[in-house]
Structure 1
Amino acid sequence: MPIFLIMQRAVYLVAYPLLWLVARLPFPLLYLLSDGVFFLLFHAVRYRRQVVRANLALVFPDRPESERRTIERRFYAHMCDMFLEMIKTLAISEREMQRRFQIDNLEILHQLERQNRIVILLMPHYASWEWALSLDSHIRSRGYGVYQPLGNPYFDKLVRRIRAKWGTTLIPTRETRKGVAEIVRQRELATIGFISDQSPMVKKAVHWGDFMGITVPMHTGAEELCKKHDLPAVYLKVRKTGRGFYRSEIILLSDDPQSVPDFGITDAFFREVERSILEAPEYYFWTHKRWKHRNKRPKHLPARPKEVTSGS
């Protein structure tokens, strides 16, 4: 076994017992631990503080610095909660999860299931995208999630195990097109989740749009698959209603994607993300360098790229 794999395995073997213990903490102790992690991460390690501050200043230039600092602190506190909640998924019961993560407008998905439609579900890095996987326990269709595998194969296996708690099958990003095509070919009743607010590589970007008033490249892969395979698109809007409690809502973006102008679904998705951020900005994942490519649109790219046919 290569030395780097031995090292990765050693790190995992040391960390896993601690994660196992954290997963079995009652929620009051879990959040007490989260408070301690927050203190270390925010005050001692100062994890990506400059990135977060730069993002907040860029997106909210008219807000007082004191308000941005408040958002910053609340964001770090929430981030610590959310990652410990992800670990807690290892031990949480289905009944407890349904009490803590509630979903409205499920009838939209149930109606699409009755029509035997494969659904593309879009959501951002907002509130709790990890507990959103519990949606699988509310629907008949098989849940899939597109994800970026971790560099450590042992932790990657653990993440896949955690995210499979409610039946979700993960599709590595590099296999997305092939995986969706196979689901369509098999005519499998499925709901396929995408987290689509990341920043794509500039050289691969075909669509630039406004996100929080700033022109940036946008991922369009989910929309392209909707159009190619005639798959309806829905948005999962998540609100944090209290510490450890979330309420989400299914919003239909389009049940006839081929009739929507190209990039219309992508733009509609980002408008929903903006609404969530403006309602409660502390729950967005500000450590991402989401706006790093702002104002870098290639000069040869038109303001509205030429439409791509649904069969492309």
Structure 2
Amino acid sequence: MQLLIYKLVYPGLWLISKLPWKLFYAFSTSIFFIIYYIIGYRKRTVTENLILVFPEKAEKEIKKIRKEFYKHMCDMFLEMIKSISISNQEMMERFKVTNLEKIQNLEAKGQNIMVFMAHYASYEWANVIDIQTNFQAVGIYKPIGNMYFDRLVRRIRARFGSRVVTNKNAMREITEDQTKDGLYMYGLAADQSPKLHKAMYWTNFMGIKVPTFLGAEVLSKRLGINTYYLQVEKIKRGYYEATFVSITEDPKNCEDYSIVKKYLRLLEKQITNNPQYYLWSHKRWKHRNALAPEGATID
């Protein structure tokens, strides 16, 4: 059944990826109307998250942010489909890195990098960085249920040279990489909610106490890997700019949790300035009223 669904859907995805840009975004607008006005995909979750995070905002403003979020979400997921056939040149024109020289300097020094990312603006197009450095980019991701679509997602994310590994294998593979020659740049989104039994560190995110992933910080400190935040901003429809913001270049001497806290503060600033570009459809704050497991640190 999974293969049948994939064979039925994939030709349509390929055709969408080949659409000229004007038609492509016109199609995205039509999808927005269906998702927002007819289906109402996760509208309750989005609304609850926005009210929770922005209690001071009036209902009219919440609805405006919600509507703009859905427009952006449709663009973003269709842009991932566009990655099936987009050229290298088009990618570099539409997703520009403002300070690539910083990463090239680390490359010249032979230093590996851990890149904290977020579900903000465009995280799918960040793999354009792969074709502008000599680092072996390694993307960490969570597999999806349909094995054929999972394979497609892996192919899209690895299209420009990345190696894609699952979150379950990440710690082992990253540790093994440090025993090999070569340069590595690890990218992972760390802003979603861990499973409750693994929620060993709780801190404020957008003013609400929730558990936070620690894997990237633990690896950075243990292996001494430079840590950066990839701050992506949406300039206009279909165009993004990314800046590498240093979190620390001395992770082994950082206080516990200081890396992840700085990452969250950087992300919070972006969300506060332009909330419509964050992925509000995820249940990021679902554990806010839960009991922390025994031994957890609550900050």
Band the TM-score falls in, shorter-chain normalisation: over 0.9
Deviation string 1:130-159 (CA, Å, 9 cap, x unpaired) is 001111111111111000111111111111
Indicate the SS of the match to 2:284.
Answer: coil
CA distance in 1, matches of 2:203, 2:30: 39
CA distance in 2, matches of 1:22, 1:275: 34
Shift of 1:243: 0.5
Q: Unpaired runs of 5+ in structure 2?
A: none
CA distance in 2, matches of 1:173, 1:80: 25
Partner of 2:95: 101
CA distance in 2, matches of 1:18, 1:302: 47
CA distance in 2, matches of 1:297, 1:127: 32
Shift of 1:303: 5.4
CA distance in 1, matches of 2:156, 2:148: 13
Q: Does 1:18 align with 2:12?
A: yes
Q: 2:202·2:296 contact (CA, 8 Å) conserved in 1?
A: no
Partner of 1:308: none
Q: 1:30 aligns with which of 11, 24, 30?
A: 24
Q: Does 1:241 align with 2:196?
A: no
- Identical pairs, percent: 41
Q: 2:60 aligns with which of 66, 70, 76?
A: 66
Partner of 1:179: 173
Q: 2:139 aligns with which of 137, 140, 145?
A: 145
CA distance in 1, matches of 2:170, 2:293: 30
Give the TM-score of the pair, scaled to structure 1. 0.93
> Residues 300 and 10 (structure 1 numbering): CA distance in 2 closer, same or farther, change over 3 Å?
closer
Indicate the SS of the match to 2:225.
Answer: coil
CA distance in 1, matches of 2:175, 2:21: 41
Q: 2:160 aligns with which of 163, 166, 174?
A: 166
Q: Which runs of 4+ in 1 moved over 6 A?
A: none
> Residues 149 and 299 (structure 1 numbering): CA distance in 2 closer, same or farther, change over 3 Å?
closer
Shift of 1:217: 0.4
Q: 1:108·1:252 contact (CA, 8 Å) conserved in 2?
A: no
CA distance in 1, matches of 2:176, 2:2: 33
Q: How does 1:181-260 map to 2 (within 5 A)?
A: 181-260=175-254
The letter of the residue matching 2:244 is: I
Q: 1:293 aligns with which of 282, 287, 290?
A: 287
Partner of 2:36: 42
Q: 1:208·1:297 contact (CA, 8 Å) conserved in 2?
A: no
Shift of 1:18: 0.2
Q: 2:260 aligns with which of 266, 269, 276?
A: 266
Indicate the SS of the match to 1:239.
Answer: strand
CA distance in 1, matches of 2:296, 2:154: 40
Aligned residue pairs total 299
